[in-house]
Amino acid sequence: MRTTLLTISILSFVISASSAIADPLPIEWSVTARANPIHYVGKCPAVITFDAHVSVVGAPAIEYRFIRSDGATGPMQSIESPPPGMPTSTTWTLGGSTLKHYEGWEQLVVKEIRQKVPHGKASRTISGNRAAFSIDCTG
């Protein structure tokens, strides 16, 4: 009987401690991106603009960057208390005499940063949609 009570007490303490330590995840995540233009036809180099919006409800801070289909990554940026629907954008200039046609994408990757957890930071990463585009260089 004593062993059972001790086991139940220890188990109860572990569950309570885990619940107190756990940091709740954001209520809502939304990361969307769009290429403009989606299909470019004309003189090159072409400039494609990528507009994105980020909504993370409940995150005290985020870090974010664009990644590209060719493997390049943009600089990591951060913001505390991001406003809902926060806009961000980047451009990609490409095409010319050696690259007449190209199909690719850019994607926004967002990492939630939570400072107030035992033993360092906790984070969660979400990737938005791939904003696809293509170019066809003429002349």
Span 79-130, pLDDT tens digits: 988 888 899 999 999 999 999 999 999 999 998 876 555 666 667 888 999 9
Q: Cite the DSSP H helix spans in 42-100.
A: none
Q: Model-level pTM greater than 0.95? A: no
| Dihedral angle computed from the Cα positions of residues 111, 78, 108 and 92, in that order, rounded to the nearest 10 degrees | -150
Give me the pLDDT at residue 118, please.
60
- Band (3; pLDDT cuts 50, 70, 90): very low
Q: Which contiguous run of DSSP H or E holds residue 17?
A: helix 2-21
Give me the pLDDT at residue 133, please.
98
CB–CB of 123/112 below 8 Å? yes
Give me the pLDDT at residue 28, please.
75
CB–CB of 67/123 below 8 Å? no
- Residues 50-61 have a mean pLDDT of 87
